[in-house]
Amino acid sequence: MRDPNHRSTPMLPNFSWLISRLGQRLDTSMRILRVGTAPASRSSNSVVLPATPSRFRSIAWPLIGVLVLVAGWTVGISYYFHHQSAERQFLVEQQSRGARAARLVESTILSDYAAVERSARALSERSDLIAALSRRTDAARAVREWAQKEGKSARGGLIEVRDGRGGLIERTGEAGTQRLDEEESRQGVRDALLGQDNIVVIERLQGLTIRAAAPVLAGNQIIGAIVVERLIGERYLDQLANQLGAEVALLAHDRVLGASMPPEDAAWLQKARAGIQTGSTTHIELDGNEDLSLRPLPITDQALAVAVMVSNKMAYETLSDSSRAFGAVVLFTILATVVAGLYLTRHLIRPIKALTERAEELSLRYAGRATQHKGDELDSLVGSFDAMTTALLSHSDRLSQAHMTELQGSLELQRQYAVMRLLRGLAAAANESDSVERTLERALNEIGSYLDWPLGRVAILPDYSEDRSLPPRSLWFARDPERFRDFIEASNGIAIVPSPNHLIGRAYLSGVPNWVSDLSRMTEWNRLDVALAAGLHTGVVIPVMAHGHVAAFIEFYSDQRVDATNAWLELVEAVGAELSRVAERQRAERELRQREVEASRLAMVASRTEQMVLILDTTGRIEWANDAVMRFSGLGMQEMRGKLAHSLMGGSRTDPAAVAQIG
């Protein structure tokens, strides 16, 4: 059965996607509709929009503008993150490339260092050199010829040949390597003439010299010395730079020993000094387009380092030159966005206009109002939607009110019909039963079937007051007798007395029905424990009155809480009144039967007595006479009925003098 208080919700189109687009304007309108405001009477037939309309005549322009803004923002953000990612990748690659190049330069110099040492030792063991130095005549000329030949075949560097006293016989090789003798060079020659191979690294104004000296032995005799030098200078570094594709420099802690091309930063040596002194492999950021990859060079006790120039962030900006490409992408994106915006708005406005027209039709159909168009298509849709929903809600309220009235009337009719059936059943039980007890038993079953409560009882009080201290006679209605057995036994053993603490006792005192929605609140009730144990929550007692006195009680119990409503109370009063009328009628019939019995008994006594007995009406006419009168008058009962009493005095045995005296 439907709830009569339920309010039906009108079937409206689903405009949730539109509400999210319209924002505050439509939200204001929806708040007005949600509070249930009835459409007020207006001076005109137009519906006023709930908020200020848009300044645009069409939503196409703001939509295209938003699309262009979003597209431009998206392209810009994408370009920024792509640029940052490419830049980071470029810098990582350049640093890795610089580190590999520095390691390659270091390994090349160390390889040349070892090659100079091996070359000096190998030349000192050459037999043709030993033969040239061992000649007694023209030894110098033979050595020069040998040196010239070896200098031509040498890949680079300088070769010196010394005699047994350390004198220079011949020097040949690269022109840039040749220089004047100095103490470090002479000391190496002296050590070689003493039989010790040696190699030293000498710092020059422009680079380093790697100088190795080895003794030339003829048998066990030192007949001279051979010296091999290699200059690590600008030419050497230029060759490495060409091979690596990056500029290379050779650094000491206090000056630049050589560089293929110095970087743009004038303070680059000062920035690299800490890395040179600590001998660490590091990356140094410089001003300008290049940074340094620094690596130590361990060929001398002095702090030396190899530096390779690599491109940095500024060089990436110069090399990438992405501004032009970015501008072209942005321009193309804006043009494509405008075209897409025109296409989308064309297909978006079409269904919005269709919805607006449909909403206007519904508004005119249910409210008879036209919508005033203002602003763009969405504003028109908002106005039409407002008018439509207002009209539909008003129409729905009318339908709901009519339905509720009809439903309430139907429920009332159903209730009245059920009550009528119950009362008719009670009347039928009274008419078909020959005793009050039988009538109350049938009434108990009728009420139990109607209420659908699990337990009920009729308690019939004794006729005599001296017997009411005993438990009453009880008739039970139980849907589950086993469940309520303890409660039934306890009730059968308790006498009914007037008491404000007991359920039946209250009805006994007041003579009216008693309804208790929560039995647990009757703390002094003598059946509370067994009632709660049986799961009973609500109880009602209906007294059955006869001639102003309680003749019986009908009580019912529910295992659920039931509140006393007006309908319930009216039903209980109607049942009590009907049963009381039945009890009074049957009691009156019983008393009438008793009086008839008593009257027959009195008539028998009167008819058997020897004294004359007459029963007269108010006019003195005879209604009944006993046998003595009939013997005295000589008339039968039918002859005497209706005659005046003194007319019987004129019989055959009547004394005329007495009649005259009476008359």
Distances (CA, A) of 390 to 12, 43, 393, 394: 11, 17, 5, 6
Q: What is the mean pLDDT of residues 599-605?
A: 69
Q: Does pTM top 0.85 for this prediction?
A: no
Candidates 3.30.70.100, 1.10.10.10, 3.40.50.150, 3.30.450.40; CATH matching 433-591? 3.30.450.40
Q: H or E segment at 361?
A: helix 323-366
Q: How many CB atoms lie within 10 A of CB 210?
A: 23
**Token couple for 568:** 């319930």
Residue 6, pLDDT > 50, answer: no
125-232 architecture in CATH?
2-Layer Sandwich (3.30)
Do residues 197 and 212 lie in contact, with contact meaning Cβ atoms separated by under 8 Å?
A: yes
How does residue 586 score in pLDDT terms, banded at 50, 70 and 90? low
Residue 17 pLDDT exceeds 60: no
pLDDT per residue as tens digits for the range 38-89: 444 433 344 444 455 556 667 677 777 788 888 888 888 887 887 788 888 8
pLDDT at 558: 92
Q: What is the DSSP string of 591-638?
A: HHHHHHHHHHHHHHHHHHSSS--EEE-TTSBEEEE-HHHHHHH---HH
Kindly state the percentage of the chain with pLDDT values over 70.
Answer: 78
Q: Where in the chain is the domain with CATH 3.30.450.40?
A: 433-591
As to burial, measured by CB atoms within 10 angstroms (0-12 exposed, 13-18 middle, 19+ buried), residue 328 is exposed
pLDDT at position 538 is: 93
Residue 248 has a pLDDT of 92
| Region(s) of the chain under CATH 3.30.450.20 | 125-232
Residue 130 pLDDT level (bands cut at 50, 70, 90) = confident
